Amino acid sequence: MKPCPADLPQTINPEAGPKRAGVETHRNLNCHQYDNCLDEAVRRGWQSFTCMKCPMYAQVAPPQMGLEAYATQRRPV
């Protein structure tokens, strides 16, 4: 199965609000294809992207950690 991120015209707020979904809703940060989708979004010049329409979105477990922990665990030491 091939990942297929979808373009979002606006950026995603780090935290969900009453009118906009947050990052953890739009993206599956634990997906094995996440880095490839991020690269694809950059190549296409997208402002942001969502995983919600991807068939792989429902197959991979949702993130088990918050955004802060995710960001720091990917940072080189």
Q: Is the pLDDT of residue 15 over 60?
A: yes
| Domain limits for position 27 | 23-53
Could you tell me if residue 17 is inside a domain? no
Measured between alpha carbons, how far is 1 from 5 in angstroms, rounded to an integer? 13
Could you tell me if residue 41 is inside a domain? yes
> Which pLDDT does position 43 carry in this prediction?
93
Q: Into how many domains does the chain fold?
A: 1
40 vs 20, residue with greater confidence: 40
The full DSSP string for the chain is -----EEESSPPPSS--SSS--HHHH--TT-TTHHHHHHHHHHHT-SEEE-TTSTTTTTSPPPSS-HHHHHHHSS--
pTM summary value: 0.62
**pLDDT tens, residue by residue, 29-68:** 888 888 888 899 999 999 889 988 888 887 755 555 566 6
